[in-house]
Amino acid sequence: MCGIVGYVGKEDATPILLHGLEKLEYRGYDSAGIAVRNHGDDPLIVKAEGKLTNLIEKVSGMTFTGTAGLGHSRWSTHGKSNETNAHPHCSDDHNVIGVHNGIIENYQELKDKLLRKKYTFYSETDTEVIIKLIDYYYKKYKIGPVDAINKALVRARGSYALGLMFKDYPDQVWFAKKGSPLIIAKGKDACYLASDVPAILKQTNKVYYVDDYEIGYIKEDEVRFFDLNGDDITNKKELVTIDWKADATDLGKYQYYMEKEIDEQPEAIKRTIDAYVDEEGFIKFPELGITKEYLNSLEEIYIFACGSAYHAGVVAEYLIEDLANVNVRCELASEFKYRNYKMNPRSLAIVISQSGETKDTYEAMMKAKANGIKTLAICNVKGSTITRDADFNCYTYAGPEIAVATTKAYSCQLAVLYLFTLFLARTKYALERDKYYELVNEVKALPEKVKETIKCKRQVQKLSSRFTEKTNVFFIGRGIDYAICMEGSLKLKEITYINSNAYAAGELKHGTISLIQHGVAIIAIATQPDLIEKTVSNMVEVKSRDGSVVALTTKDTEVEDSSKYQIYVPKVNPLFAASLAIIPIQQLAYYVSLNKGLNPDKPRNLAKSVTVE
Residues marked as catalytic: 2, 608
- Measured distance CA(607)–CA(30) in Å, rounded: 10
Are 300 and 326 contacting, i.e. CB atoms less than 8 angstroms apart? yes
How far, CA to CA in Å, does 435 sit from each of 195, 296, 323, 415? 44, 19, 10, 18
- Measured distance CA(333)–CA(304) in Å, rounded: 5
Q: Is-cis flag, bond preceding 145, omega within 30? A: no
CB environment 126-138: b (16+ within 10 A), e (fewer): bbbbbbbbbbbbb
How far, CA to CA in Å, does 307 sit from each of 312, 358, 463, 489? 9, 10, 26, 11
DSSP H/E element including 393: strand 392-395
Query: One-letter amino acid identity for 220?
Result: E
H-helix segments, 497-603: 532-544, 578-595
In a 3-state reduction of DSSP, which class is residue 426? helix
- Measured distance CA(412)–CA(426) in Å, rounded: 21
Neighbours of 393 (CB within 10 A): 20
Neighbours of 47 (CB within 10 A): 22
How many residues in the chain?
A: 613
How far, CA to CA in Å, does 27 sit from each of 346, 446, 509? 38, 31, 41
Q: What is the CA radius of gyration of the chain?
A: 25
- Measured distance CA(580)–CA(601) in Å, rounded: 22
Q: What are phi and psi of 332, to 5 degrees?
A: -65, 120
- Measured distance CA(174)–CA(150) in Å, rounded: 12
Residue among 365, 430, 372, 371 at smallest CA distance from 393: 365
H-helix segments, 233-291: 257-263, 265-274
Neighbours of 94 (CB within 10 A): 16
Measured N-to-C along each axis, helices 126-140 and 145-153 cross at an angle, to the nearest 10 degrees, of 130
Q: Is the dihedral of CA 298, 302, 305, 308 positive or negative?
A: positive
Are 377 and 362 contacting, i.e. CB atoms less than 8 angstroms apart? no
